[in-house]
Structures are given as structure tokens and as C-alpha cells.
């Protein structure tokens, strides 16, 4: 399954970069997150509750920025697991200034295991797109 998209944020690229590197902002913007902590710069632990079709559950995981080119791009490694299954993904994010706005583009290919994998790629893809939309709408409000 491939996940990709782009969203326009009504703020300059440097501001969007700051928001994407602030654990408090990430916690407020990420759907389902009940807790997020920065263990060190670029490494975050999170707890979240998600419903994906018939599969519901609590997940524990982490996100690490593995490559950072401020304020242009970053690569993230995301790993999480819970009773419903697990996910591991490497995602790439680019920020492109367009006037007073920033276009944030992302792509990645998550590997899903457990009951989550049984849900099917089409449903997972739709849920991923919906969650990304919610995240970027909230990020726009933060800007």
C-alpha cells in the first residue's frame, strides 16, 4: 500500500517546519493521540486510540526524524503496535514555499501486520487519507 498526498498550509515554510517539529503541536494535530513525548530531538513516543473499519485499539509507538534538511524536507521512520497489529513505515515530507503559503507533500509505504492487515489495502488507504486530511487541517489552524 502506498500513501501519498499534499496539503497547502497558510503559513511560510519556516513556520510550518517549526510546527512539524513541535511535539505539543504534533500531539494536538494527530488524530487519536492521547500522549506524545519527545525523548530527544527528533524522536517522539506516542500513545493513540484508532478505529480502522472493524478494528479498534490502542497503539504504542514512536516516530524518528532520520533525515532532516531544514526547512525543505525530512524523512521519518514510524513504528507502532497494539493488540490489533502493527505498522512500520518510512515517510518522506517536503515543504515548498508558494507565496505566503507552504505546500506540504508526503509519501510512504507502510507495512501492516496483524488484524490490521486483514482489513485490506483499500480501506486502509482511505483511512490513511482521511487521517492525513484531519492532521493537516489541524496544522493549518495552528499556523
The pLDDT of residue 136: 97
Beta-carbon contacts of 69 under 8 Å, excluding residues fewer than 6 positions away, are none
- Mean pLDDT score of the chain: 92
Domain extents for the chain? Answer: 3-142
Q: What is the pTM of this model?
A: 0.89
pLDDT band (50, 70, 90) for residue 107: very high
Q: Class of the 3-142 domain?
A: alpha beta
Query: What confidence score (pLDDT) does residue 33 get?
Result: 94
- End-to-end C-alpha distance for the chain, whole angstroms: 31
| Cβ burial, residue 26 (10 Å; 0-12/13-18/19+) | buried
CA-based angle 130:135:136, to the nearest 5?
100
> Does residue 6 register a pLDDT over 90?
yes
For 103, the 3-state DSSP assignment is strand
Does 44 have pLDDT greater than 80? Answer: yes
Amino acid at each position: 500500500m502506498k500513501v501519498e498526498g499534499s496539503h497547502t498550509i497558510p503559513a511560510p515554510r519556516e513556520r510550518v517546519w517549526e510546527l512539524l517539529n513541535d511535539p505539543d503541536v504534533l500531539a494536538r494535530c494527530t488524530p487519536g493521540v492521547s500522549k506524545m513525548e519527545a525523548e530527544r530531538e527528533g524522536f517522539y513516543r506516542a500513545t493513540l486510540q484508532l478505529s480502522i473499519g472493524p478494528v479498534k485499539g490502542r497503539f504504542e509507538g514512536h516516530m524518528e526524524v532520520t533525515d532532516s534538511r531544514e526547512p525543505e524536507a525530512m524523512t521519518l521512520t514510524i513504528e507502532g503496535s497494539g493488540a490489533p497489529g502493527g505498522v512500520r513505515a518510512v515517510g518522506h515530507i517536503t515543504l515548498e514555499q508558494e507565496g505566503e503559503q507552504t505546500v506540504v507533500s508526503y509519501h510512504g509505504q507502510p507495512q501492516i501486520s496483524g488484524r490490521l492487515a486483514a482489513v485490506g489495502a483499500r480501506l486502509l488507504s482511505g483511512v490513511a487519507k482521511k487521517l492525513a486530511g484531519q492532521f493537516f487541517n489541524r496544522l493549518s489552524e495552528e499556523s
